[in-house]
Amino acid sequence: MCASDLASGRLRPKADFILLEKRARRLTLWYGGFAVREFRVALGEDPVGHKQRQGDGKTPEGRYWIEGRNRESRFYRSLKISYPSIADEYLAKRAGVVDVGGEIMIHGLPAGAGWIGKHHAGLDWTRGCIAVTNEEIDEIWELVVEGTPIEIRP
């Protein structure tokens, strides 16, 4: 396998790493050190900074992994991210936060809103999740397996 095979789309290997760059609103799937697919995303409604508590509207930052799949999600399909980590829980406890939150997903659009398509990515509308179109989550669903690491950068 070479970079031209990946770039041409002739091969569809499973991603071995996911990178989310919040500032750029970009989610990139990587395989063997090559970026194989990029997606524009919508984030939490208040995305700057690391998620610290339930309801803060922030998308977490740090290193996590994909820990589950939900084909019956109210947001079409979803991949669960392993937030909160032990470190997230520890820092929240030290700050006096009772509920650090959870259920952070990469997901499609809300039921019945698939028609919005790529226009959703111009807004940050989730409660801390990472949203893509329904067609894009179908593609991500096929390329990402449970256990795939994800790094979320500011």
Judge residue 112's burial from the number of C-beta atoms within 10 Å of its C-beta, 0-12 exposed, 13-18 middle, 19 or more buried.
Answer: exposed
Q: What is the pLDDT of residues 87-136, one digit of tens each?
A: 999 999 999 998 998 899 999 988 777 667 776 777 898 999 999 999 99
Domains and CATH numbers, the chain: 42-147 (2.40.440)
- pLDDT score recorded for residue 94: 92
Tell me, what's the pLDDT at 34? Answer: 96
Q: What is the pTM of this model?
A: 0.86
**Residues 112, 134: Cα–Cα separation, whole Å:** 11
Greatest extent of the chain over all pairs of C-alpha atoms, in Å: 51
Q: Find the mean pLDDT for residues 80-90.
A: 95
For residue 86, pLDDT beyond 80: yes
Q: pLDDT at position 8, please?
A: 55
Residue 137: the pLDDT is 96
Summarize pLDDT for 5-38 with one digit per residue, the tens.
555 555 667 999 999 999 999 999 999 999 999 9
